[in-house]
Amino acid sequence: MAGKETKILIAGFGGQGIILAGNVLAYACIDAGKNVCAMASYGAEVRGGTAKAIISISDEQIDSPIIETVNLAMIMNAPSFVRYSSSIEKDSPVIVNSSMIDQGQTERSDLDILGVDATNLAIKIGNIKVANIIMLGVMIKKTGILDPDSITGGLKRAFSGSKKGLYYINESAFRSGYDLY
């Protein structure tokens, strides 16, 4: 559609920091001077345990907030992989959390899937909750959609105030993901 728009799906279960990863991306876009628009699932869908965020990033004005298919995905658990892989456009990069996802669970052979042992890496870093940011690091390196410095800026904004103490572990999680490949 209009301009070159990166449409990113981030999905997993509640508690994996799906919305947070989306917010970090959105904050990073503010710093990078890009337009961004994010939409998380809400209501009964969320109560079932899955969380989903869709983030559109563009150099141009973002018009329709309705995103039917995405061209980049970051998926953190198996049910989300099964549920959402049909909404990913052909040849799109898909970063999956191989700690929790068997890549054979999708019949799609036309996706550019990259497995990251994110949950186990996060445990090694010292906090299982940073698996999302490790995957974000991999995604940024693989796609180059944003400068890594703007992600660092996004992390600073996302981890401010009472959450400030969590900035450093998340920053190192991002670096370790970014340097993984």
Closer to another protein by CB, 61 or 109: give it: 61
Kindly indicate which of the ranges 10-18, 26-34, 79-87, 169-177 contains the residues binding another protein, using the contact rule CB under 8 A.
26-34
Identify which range of 39-47, 94-102, 108-116, 166-174 contacts another protein by CB under 8 A: 39-47
Please write down the HEC assignment for all residues of the chain. Answer: CCCCEEEEEEEEECCCCHHHHHHHHHHHHHHHCCEEEEEECCCHHHHCCEEEEEEEEECCCCCCCCCCCECEEEECCHHHHHHHHHHECCCCEEEEECCCCCHHHCCCCCCEEEEECHHHHHHHHCCHHHHHHHHHHHHHHHHCCCCHHHHHHHHHHHCCHHHHHHHHHHHHHHHHHHCCC
**Shortest gap between Cβ of 122 and another protein (angstroms)?**
25
Nearer to another protein, 47 or 91 (CB): 47
Which spans of this chain sit near another protein (rule: CB under 8 A)? 1-2, 22-23, 26-27, 29-30, 36-40, 42-44, 63-66, 68, 157
